[in-house]
Amino acid sequence: MLLVLCLALACSVGCSPSERREGFLHLRLSANPTTLDPSLITDVPAALVAAKLFNGLVRLGEGLEVVPDIAERWEMSKDGRTYRFYLKAGVTFSNGREVTSRDFKYSFERVLDPDGRSPNAWVFDRVDGAREFRNGLSAGVRGFRVLGERLFEIELRSAFSPFLNMLTMTAAYVVPEEAVRQSGVGFSSNPAGTGPFVLKEWRSHQSLVLERREDYFAGSAKLKGILFRVIPEDLTAVTEFELGNLDILSLPAAVFRRFKSDPAWKDHIVSIEGLNTYYLGLNASRPPFNDPEVRVAVSRSIDRKKILETFYEGRGRLARGPVPDALRTWQIPPEAAATQSYDPAAARRMLAGRGLENFTVSLYVTADQEVVDLAEIVQSYLAGVGIRAKIRQLEWSAFKAAVNDGEPDMFWLSWWADYPDTENFLFPLFHSSNLGPGGNRTRYVSREVDRLIEQGQASRRAADAARFYQRAEESIIRDAAWVFCWHKADYVIKQPWVRGFRTYPVYSMDKGADVSF
Amino acid sequence: MGRYIIKRVLLLIPVLAGITFVAFLLLKAIPGDPVLNLVGERSSPEIIEQLRKEIGSDRGLLQQYAGYLGLLARGDFGRSYHTNRDVLSDIAAKLPNTLRLALAAMMIAVPLGVMAGCAAAYHKSGALAAAVEAFSVAGVSVPIFWSGLLIMLLVSLELRLLPPSGTGGLRFIILPAAVLSIPAMATLARVTRTAVSEVLVMPHVNTARAKGLTATRITLLHVMKNAIVPVVTIIGLDFGSYLNGAVVTETIFGWDGLGRFTMEGITMRDYPVILGCVIAGTVLFVLVNLLTDLLYHYLDPRVRLYDRKK
């Protein structure tokens, strides 16, 4: 009788979701999105979904240039401080109301509002009046100005060249005030935006169903909708893909070789050069790595090319500096590049010259198995030049806290672009105002680099900014502020029936509207 | 009996107070900061400080604990730091899935494990006994993440019989339940074999045989009834632990249960989620233990749960 009861219970509850929904694109999310409120999003799964639900004033074009989104055009003042945006007519939220410039003022102030608990307030930190507003000294941000129904102006405290690029970020999406007020904290799971899709259903930790909007201002999507399935385990996702239950999948490293060498699949794999830099961080705030010579010696002791070709099976590009090649518009001089070339004998001589032989340093890594394996490879290279690296594995937030506090001598980390601008690979990572949680976790301090980055930020023309950034990057490479390792590529596999699919280096670029079967 | 049950249920209150306090202490003792998981890769010390204030992690440990108990007293488990969702409703949504998976796994494990154990006890020297012995060792030794993936590849990819992942009805539950049942089945087979072997040589079984009773009757009435107590203990323990979530199985098969939810809470240092899951798990475990104790009494009247004179 107990068995019958059990059987009845086990079978009665819950309905079975069909494996495929007709006319829907089936995609995988590796984790449940934490929130779909643009002001709060910091995780990739949420940002991927939000890109389909929302729009901003501007977006990124195919060549990573800034192009119009809800704004049809914009003007920048001569001093580079003021941007005036002319909004398109007829752009509506999913509740049917037309977007006006007041919505942008509301949405942007919401990100800065201390009560909003947004971790993305830094995006608008340079807007005039932002700090007073955050400190409760003013009711609104004077730098956000509504000049008409479809005319919006933003004034910065000082010229800041990456600002337009930053407006393509998730935090700068527009949201309707009435929907936020009505839903309260529920807006996170019941969002309303201007995007090509609307959220129809979110079964937490299971799936999200997005349906096409017929009245999307840039032309409705080709498919009926998108079904995101939350599948945490890589190999399960691969099985689902092989069964045809997923249409597109980012290939996990464990199965890369199998698919790449399979004649049935190899032509359906597309690679994306990611805007990221993986590095071995050297704590520049104390000995021994406060000495640039010692840092150069460490750089020259590790054969990064070999690790990339063997351990990572060539899935990436060797880094020549912090800036990914896709963003760099200049050449790195050979004498700067030489600080990174593999030469253990030279490294040993350099260390001996500093009186450093057989010394011990700490190497902190996250508990990810791939990272631990890599750390052991790095450890053996360092041992070759007389550096004993003691590996310490920590859970992610404990690792982050230790690194932010400058605890380790060395650590393994990567940086992924917030927005595709060279500045994003220089200012947060090497400017002395960002030590620790701000991004400069190696605590590298150079007044010259600070000054060059600031001059780049204050330049009105991209070419002028690039000149300053070029000099800053050269300085950073000469100083061997990091051991610059590689820019990882992502490999995506698609089913033969998927058409119009393109890969993008920045996830917010993928609106999912062009894909068809 | 009724008073005994009420007493045991009331004992939950001090147990929960103790468990939450220990969990609180452990959460604070381990390295890591929930706010650093909230802010992403680029943040300012001001924002970090403000968020600490928001979630109350800037206050003293006892103050935080008292605040949490205050919430609990109002029947509120708090909100997740990350999703801002009500923890109690999330647990309530996931608990039925966990319950279904645990029940389904036990439905497979109990009959098969007990039957295999009985068969091995009756045929001690045969190939069957050797096979059960091998299974009972392999079943508890082979990790689920390995057996789970292999079974998934075979059943879902090669034979295309069942979906590899997802939370749903019968078709979705069979694979995870089968995989989850393996270790319990193996333990049950071993314990049943030992218990039945011990009973089989007892005089009352010989008496039953001498009376000319059928083998089925002897097994059910004279052997199993005496061997069942250790078996029930194992069922209670396994069922209790499955109700606390089968993290690996739920992750591999994308089953939306408490195990995955708890694990995600732990990796994200989402304290309200972790504490909520600890409380739910404790209540379930205590209730299953109570049920097991009551079953002991029913199955073996020699087991006294309380002093009748009082």
Per CB-CB distance under 8 Å, the chain A contacts of B272 are: none
Chain A interface disruption, residue of B28, B49, B83, B108, most A CBs within 10 A: B83
Q: Which of B32, B84, B251 sits opposite A232 (nearest CB)?
A: B251
Total count of residues recorded for chain A: 517
| Judgement on whether residues A212 and A329 belong to the same structural domain of the protein | no
CB atoms within 10 A of CB B207: 12
Residue A322 CB contacts under 8 Å (≥ 6 apart), including other chains: A277, A279, A415, A425, A426, A429, A430, A473, A476, A481, A482, A484
| Judgement on whether residues A147 and A293 belong to the same structural domain of the protein | no
| Judgement on whether residues A83 and A222 belong to the same structural domain of the protein | no
Instruction: For residue A121, give how far its alpha carbon lies from the nearest alpha carbon of chain B (Å).
Output: 8
| Judgement on whether residues A241 and A302 belong to the same structural domain of the protein | no
Task: Please give the structure tokens belonging to residue A263.
Answer: 């004649």
| Judgement on whether residues A160 and A212 belong to the same structural domain of the protein | no
Residue A437 CB contacts under 8 Å (≥ 6 apart), including other chains: A404, B36, B39, B42, B43, B44, B45, B48
CATH number at residue A240: 3.40.190.10
Per CB-CB distance under 8 Å, the chain A contacts of B43 are: 119, 122, 437-438
> Which stretches does DSSP call E strand in A375-458?
387-394, 410-416
| Judgement on whether residues A290 and A408 belong to the same structural domain of the protein | yes
Instruction: For residue A218, give how far its alpha carbon lies from the nearest alpha carbon of chain B (Å).
Output: 31
| Judgement on whether residues A268 and A305 belong to the same structural domain of the protein | no
Partner-chain contact A10 B103, CB within 8 Å = yes
Question: Considering the entire predicted model, what is its pTM?
Answer: 0.86
* pLDDT for res B308: 58
CB of A254 within 8 Å of any CB in chain B?
no
Partner-chain contact B165 A231, CB within 8 Å = yes
| Judgement on whether residues A167 and A63 belong to the same structural domain of the protein | yes
Helix (H) or strand (E) holding A361: strand A359-366
Task: Read off φ and ψ for residue A241, nearest 5 degrees.
Answer: -65, -45
Partner-chain contact A122 B43, CB within 8 Å = yes
Q: Strands A58-60 and A66-68, how do they pair?
A: antiparallel
Chain B interface disruption, residue of A2, A21, A29, A42, most B CBs within 10 A: A42
Per CB-CB distance under 8 Å, the chain A contacts of B261 are: 205
Amino acid at B234: I
ipTM of the complex: 0.83
If phi > 0 it is left, if psi is from -120 to 50 it is alpha, else beta; for residue A445 that is beta
Q: Which residues of chain A have pLDDT under 70?
A: 1-19
Partner-chain contact A16 B50, CB within 8 Å = no
3-class secondary structure, A339: helix
**Is A509 buried (19+), middle (13-18) or exposed (0-12) by CB count in 10 A?**
middle
Chain B interface disruption, residue of A16, A41, A135, A404, most B CBs within 10 A: A16
Instruction: For residue A402, give how far its alpha carbon lies from the nearest alpha carbon of chain B (Å).
Output: 9
Q: CATH second-level architecture of B93-309?
A: Orthogonal Bundle (1.10)
C-alpha to C-alpha distances, A71 to A68, A75, A513, nearest whole angstrom? 5, 11, 19
Domains: count for chain A: 3
d(CA A513, CA A510): 8
Q: Nearest Cα to A423, choosing from A320, A511, A305, A323?
A: A323
> Is there a cis peptide before residue A119, judged by omega within 30 degrees of 0?
no
Question: Does any domain span residue A12?
Answer: no
Per CB-CB distance under 8 Å, the chain A contacts of B55 are: none
| Judgement on whether residues A414 and A367 belong to the same structural domain of the protein | yes
Question: Does any domain span residue A3?
Answer: no
| Judgement on whether residues A225 and A370 belong to the same structural domain of the protein | no
Instruction: For residue A32, give how far its alpha carbon lies from the nearest alpha carbon of chain B (Å).
Output: 9
* Domain positions in chain B: 2-73, 93-309
Note whether B271 and B33 are within 8 A (CB): no
Largest Cα–Cα separation, chain B: 85
Partner-chain contact B50 A117, CB within 8 Å = yes
| Judgement on whether residues A111 and A249 belong to the same structural domain of the protein | no
CATH number at residue A360: 3.10.105.10
Residue B207 CB contacts under 8 Å (≥ 6 apart), including other chains: none
3-class secondary structure, B77: coil
Task: Please give the structure tokens belonging to residue A242.
Answer: 């092989």
Q: Which residues of chain B have pLDDT under 50?
A: 310
Q: Which of B45, B83, B100 sits opposite A437 (nearest CB)?
A: B45
Note whether A297 and A429 are within 8 A (CB): no
Task: Read off φ and ψ for residue A501, nearest 5 degrees.
Answer: -85, 130
C-alpha to C-alpha distances, B253 to A127, A249, B106, B145, nearest whole angstrom? 47, 17, 18, 10
Question: Does any domain span residue A332?
Answer: yes
CATH number at residue A102: 3.90.76.10
d(CA B164, CA A515): 26
Range of the domain at A403: 276-490
Question: Does any domain span residue A163?
Answer: yes
| Judgement on whether residues A445 and A500 belong to the same structural domain of the protein | no
**Is A399 buried (19+), middle (13-18) or exposed (0-12) by CB count in 10 A?**
buried
The whole-angstrom distance between residue B19's C-alpha and the CA centroid of its chain comes to 17
CB of A398 within 8 Å of any CB in chain B?
yes
Per CB-CB distance under 8 Å, the chain B contacts of A31 are: 264
Q: Which residues in chain A (100-129) have CB-CB distances under 8 A to chain B?
A: 114, 117, 119-122, 125
C-alpha to C-alpha distances, B189 to A210, A225, B218, nearest whole angstrom? 48, 49, 19
Note whether A55 and A230 are within 8 A (CB): no
A·B CB contacts under 8 A: 178
